[in-house]
């Protein structure tokens, strides 16, 4: 009974006390615009077209508090050097956060439409973590939109039935049930609010830093996760519904786009299958940025940009 009372109290607190419309600033120091899409909703993006050369498109990761802030060090490093864009995927940042079905196919389509309609030129695309799967699927479907792919700590390179609960739910086929339970209207918002406390956000982010966590990222993650509708897309992620099963064989090994994987240690994924992908697909390269834990561009920006620049110079 005590547990039920505690849960009921938290649900009431979530509904009546927690502010789900906190003001929050732009994720990067650049103009932001909205791109309407009939299939993907209103998409927000930041852009600085003052540089020259090939466009660079940055894609944030997928988690409870994702936004373009996760690409901020790369955006500011290349700003003015080349046209640079940071897209916020459906359900995150200033993009539409409506109560709809979120899927890997939706994110793939958002990337394709953005490249077609806003960037309008073959691009170098950099994606973080799970967004690597979406970007790779988009490149497989529409290779003419991509010059290269750089995947930072990409998911999809672990053996099946290993990794975090989100990934195991996808492997075991229980993600539909998990999502129905977690997103139940009575407690879906309250459950998400547990994930989005400052303490929780800090704990999860600390796992992704070898050194001190970036305080700006912690604060922005808190603000962006306290918006109306902020729980919808993350609950699909937590349920495991956004992962592509066997993406290494079905997508990564079939890519014709030159691809660079940047990795080291990552508490949220593994890279056991990376040697197999490198062996089977000559378009792939990999470089370890040590010591990092999933966000090398925050902790080792010079090393990360040197690896990217060398890779792009060859294409």
Would you say residue 102 lies in a domain?
yes
Helix (H, G, I), strand (E, B) or coil at 59: strand
Q: Can you give the pLDDT at residue 172?
A: 60
For residue 87, what are the contacts with CB-CB under 8 A and spacing of at least 6?
Answer: 43, 44, 45, 57, 58, 59, 68, 110, 111, 114
How far apart, in whole angstroms, are the C-alpha atoms of residue 15 and residue 186? Answer: 10
Q: Is residue 8 part of a domain?
A: no
User: Phi and psi for 151 in degrees, rounded to 5?
Assistant: -115, 115
CA distances 9 to 50, 64, 144, 198, 302, Å, are 52, 22, 53, 19, 48
What is residue 167's predicted lDDT score, i.e. its pLDDT?
A: 61
Separation of first and last alpha carbons in the chain = 63
Residue 12 covered by a domain: no
- Does residue 14 form part of some domain? no
Predicted local confidence at residue 163, as pLDDT? 57
The answer to the question of residue 15 being in a domain is: no
Largest CA distance in the chain: 64
Tokens, residue 280: 């089977």
Tens of pLDDT, residues 120-150: 999 999 999 999 999 999 999 999 999 999 9
pLDDT of res. 1: 58
Regions of the chain where pLDDT drops below 50: none
Q: pLDDT tens digits, residue range 58-113?
A: 999 999 999 999 999 999 999 999 999 999 999 999 999 999 999 999 999 999 99
**Residue 2 domain flag:** no
Burial level of 35, CB count in 10 A (0-12/13-18/19+)? middle
- Predicted local distance difference test score (pLDDT) of residue 5: 74
Give the pLDDT confidence score for residue 49 in this predicted structure.
97
Tell me how many domains the chain contains: 1
Place of tokens 């830093």: 209
Instruction: State which residues form the domain around 188.
Output: 26-313
Q: Assess if residue 143 is contained within a domain.
A: yes
Which residues partner with 82 through β-bridges? 79
Say whether pTM exceeds 0.75.
yes
Q: Quick check: is 121 in a domain?
A: yes
Q: How far apart are CA 22 and CA 7, in angstroms?
A: 24
Helical ranges in 17-129 per DSSP H = 72-78, 104-114
The CATH number of whichever domain residue 227 belongs to comes to 3.40.50.1820
Are 57 and 124 contacting, i.e. CB atoms less than 8 angstroms apart?
A: yes
């Amino acid at each position: 009974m005590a547990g039920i009372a505690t849960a009921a109290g938290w649900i009431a607190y979530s509904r009546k006390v927690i502010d789900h419309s906190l003001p929050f600033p732009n994720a990067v120091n650049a103009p932001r615009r909205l791109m309407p899409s009939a299939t993907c909703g209103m998409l927000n993006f930041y852009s600085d077209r003052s540089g020259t050369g090939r466009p660079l498109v940055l894609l944030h990761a997928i988690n409870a508090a994702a936004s373009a802030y996760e690409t901020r060090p790369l955006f500011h490093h290349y700003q003015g050097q080349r046209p640079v864009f940071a897209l916020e995927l459906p359900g995150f940042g200033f993009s539409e956060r409506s109560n709809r079905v979120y899927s890997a196919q939706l994110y793939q389509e958002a990337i394709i439409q953005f490249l077609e309609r806003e960037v309008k030129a073959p691009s170098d695309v950099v994606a973080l973590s799970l967004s690597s799967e979406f970007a790779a699927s988009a490149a497989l479907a529409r290779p003419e939109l991509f010059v290269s792919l750089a995947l930072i700590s990409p998911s999809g390179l672990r053996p099946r039935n290993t990794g975090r609960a989100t990934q195991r739910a996808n492997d075991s086929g229980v993600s539909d049930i998990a999502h129905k339970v977690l997103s139940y209207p009575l407690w879906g918002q309250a459950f998400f609010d547990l994930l989005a406390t400052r303490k929780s956000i800090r704990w999860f982010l600390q796992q992704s830093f070898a050194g001190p966590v970036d305080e700006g990222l912690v604060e922005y993650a808190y603000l962006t996760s306290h918006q109306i509708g902020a729980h919808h897309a993350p609950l699909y992620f937590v349920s495991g519904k956004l992962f592509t099963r066997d993406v290494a064989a079905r997508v990564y090994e079939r890519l014709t786009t030159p691809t660079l994987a940047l990795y080291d240690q990552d508490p949220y994924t593994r890279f056991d299958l990376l040697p197999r992908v490198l062996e089977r697909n000559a378009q792939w390269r990999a470089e370890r940025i040590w010591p990092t834990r999933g966000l090398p561009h925050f902790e080792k920006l010079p090393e990360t940009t040197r690896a990217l620049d060398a890779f792009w110079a060859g294409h």
